[in-house]
Amino acid sequence: MDVKDRKSVERKDGTLTKAFTNYVGIGVDARVTYTVEKIRTPYACINKMLYACVGFLNLLRPIKPIKKIISSFTESTGGFLSS
């Protein structure tokens, strides 16, 4: 039986396995959308090309390590979230 047909899959040892997919965003999609919305044109075709170009350029941009983001956030909140 195909896995797509069932929510859970029974293995040979009798245990059940469930497939789970979750989206984990790191802000690249939001950065691309924000940039394109700032320079949006009335032409859908040009907007789609903008999404492609800005998205590609953002793939090349380095992303801040999560530790730096968290430490800057905890410093801005006065150590409220620091452990």
The answer to whether residue 33 is domain-embedded is: yes
Q: What pLDDT, on the 0 to 100 scale, is given for residue 38?
A: 94
Domain coverage including residue 32:
25-61
Instruction: Report if pTM > 0.95.
Output: no
List, for residues 16-66, the tens digit of each pLDDT value.
677 666 776 677 888 899 999 999 999 999 999 999 999 999 888 877 677
CA nearest neighbour of 51 among 60, 64, 39: 39
Contact 81, 74 (CB under 8 A): yes
Tokens found for residue 19: 């497939």
Q: What pLDDT, on the 0 to 100 scale, is given for residue 3?
A: 47
Tokens found for residue 43: 């032409």
Beta bridge partners of 17: 9
The answer to whether residue 31 is domain-embedded is: yes
Contact 54, 47 (CB under 8 A): no
The answer to whether residue 18 is domain-embedded is: no
